[in-house]
Amino acid sequence: MRAMVLDAAGQALRLDPQRTMPAAGPGQVLLRVHACGVCRTDLHVVDGELVHPHLPLVPGHEIVGTVAAVGPGVAGIGIGQRLGVPWLGWSCGVCGYCRGGRENLCERARFTGYDLDGGYADYTVADARFCFPIPPQFSDVEAAPLLCAGLIGYRAWRLAGEAKRLGLYGFGAAAHIAVQVARHYGQEVYAFTRPGDAAGQAFARAQGAHWAGDAGQPAPEALDAALIFAPAGELVPAALAATARGGTVVCAGIHMSDIPAFPYRLLWEERVLRSVANLTRADGEAFMALAAAIPIRTTTTAFPLEQANEALAQLRGGRLHGAAVLCP
Ligand SMILES: [Zn+2]
Ligand SMILES: [Zn+2]
């Protein structure tokens, strides 16, 4: 099979035209990959900002595929069934976090496209317990960004709590889905983009943002909560300053540059600053149902598998609206 392989952090991905097909082990399914989203986390892995990826690695954790083979011990999944594979690829199931419904925090968790080979390939294997059925109204390409950008954005949105005015910092794949969830619940969305990104701001307004402007400028109204998707630590004091008393600021990315020192008065008055890590299967099930009900419309740019490096470069340069998706 073909796969795009990371041999060492900081290098471009290498096309392996004859990689050995993985086999479905106990509890696993073999999937024929039809689409795999390109997530900002992939960029952090390729650029070496996340330590200790399993090398050589096939990245990709927004996988939509159909079951080509079923391993021993898998019940209720048939050949040809369409499944999605998210970032959380395995958790231990026995630790306090796992037993308490917080498997996203399991210290032994393994992540797709990081600890486990992912979906930048013709085929991949996945633990059947961590795969989600994809609602039928989404095409493979439309569904791919739901599996991380959508899911992590949903978890961040949920943990931000009640808010009439919601700020979104960074208007990429995650925010373009989160704005639709927020609008569905009647929230007013304020989108902050890279300074001077008029096209990005127009895209945010077209997606339903009430206001869009530069991340450096103050919000026109006090926000009740803010989600930070861009990996820029200086957005944390900016978002706290824009948030009203008692409001919550959620850092939704897996990596962020250092947060500069800021005066305590930005946190005072019961503002809450928190991060969101990974996802649980319960998040996945709830979000897929919600995405189908709204329904979420994803904006995607499709690339052939071999152009994974080009897709990553466009994401790095902020040149994409919505999400890039690889189509093996
Ligand atoms: Zn665990
Ligand atoms: Zn991701």
Cα(300) to centroid of ligand 1, in Å?
Answer: 34
Nearest Cα to Cα of residue 119 among 57, 74, 179? 57
Q: What is the DSSP letter of 151?
A: H
At 293 the three-state DSSP class reads helix
pLDDT (tens digit per residue) in 129-182 = 999 999 999 999 999 999 999 999 999 999 999 999 999 999 999 999 999 999
Does domain 3-148+278-327 match CATH 3.40.50.300?
no
Ligand found nearest the CA of 41: 2
Rounded CA-CA distance 327/128 in Å is 22
Q: Which ligand has the minimum distance to the alpha carbon of residue 103?
A: 1
- Predicted confidence at residue 119, as pLDDT, reads 98
- The pLDDT mean for the chain works out to 97
For residue 216, the model assigns a pLDDT of 84
Q: How far is the CA of 104 from the centre of ligand 1 (A)?
A: 8
For tokens 């300053």, the residue is 241
- The helix or strand, by DSSP H or E, that contains position 133, with its residue range, turns out to be strand 132-133
Q: Is residue 61 a contact partner of residue 148, using CB atoms and an 8 Å limit? A: yes
**pLDDT tier at 231, thresholds 50, 70, 90:** very high
Residue 106: nearest ligand to its CA? 1
DSSP 116: B
- Residue 72 corresponds to which tokens in the numbers above? 């021993």
Q: Give tens-digit pLDDT for 89-107.
A: 999 999 999 999 999 999 9
Alpha carbon of 54 to ligand 1 centroid (Å): 20
Tokens (6 digits) for 219: 């919000």
**Assigned fold of 151-275:** Rossmann fold (3.40.50)
Going from the Cα of 123 to the center of ligand 2, the distance in angstroms, rounded, reads 19
- Please state which of the ranges 43-57, 84-98, 282-296 shows the lowest mean pLDDT: 43-57
State in Å: Cα 94 to ligand 1 middle.
5
**Residues 322, 315 contacting (CB under 8 angstroms):** no
Element (H, E) at 66: strand 63-70
Return the ligand number nearest the Cα of 91: 1
Least distant ligand from the CA of 96: 1
Name 65's bridge partners.
Answer: 33, 83
State mean pLDDT over 19-43. Answer: 97
Q: Which residues surround ligand 2, an ion (CB under 5 A)?
A: 39, 41, 148
Give 251-305 as a DSSP string.
E-SS--PPPPP--GGGTTTT-EEEE--S--HHHHHHHHHHHHHTT----EEEEEG
| Percentage of the chain exceeding pLDDT 90 | 98
For residue 87, report the distance from its CA to the centre of ligand 2, in Å. 6
Q: Measure 99 CA to ligand 2 centroid, in angstroms.
A: 24
Q: What is the pLDDT of residue 51?
A: 85
Closest listed ligand to the CA of 87? 2
Q: How far is the CA of 158 from the centre of ligand 2 (A)?
A: 17
**99 CA to centre of ligand 1 in angstroms:** 7
Ligand 2 midpoint to CA 40 (Å): 6
Query: What value does the mean pLDDT take over residues 213-235?
Result: 95
pLDDT attached to residue 191: 98
Can you give the three-state secondary structure of 158-191, one letter per residue? HHCCCCCEEEEECCCHHHHHHHHHHHHCCCEEEE
- Ligand closest to the CA atom of residue 93: 1
Terminal Cα-to-Cα distance of the chain (whole angstroms): 10
The distance from CA 93 to its chain's CA centroid, rounded to whole angstroms, is 23
At 174-203, the pLDDT tens digits run 999 999 999 999 999 999 999 999 999 999
The pLDDT of residue 52: 86
Residues with Cβ–ion distance below 5 A, ligand 1 = 91-92, 95, 98, 106
| Chain region(s) in the chain for CATH 3.90.180.10 | 3-148+278-327
Residues of the chain with CATH 3.40.50.720: 151-275
Region of 161 on the Ramachandran plot (φ > 0 left; ψ -120 to 50 alpha; else beta): left
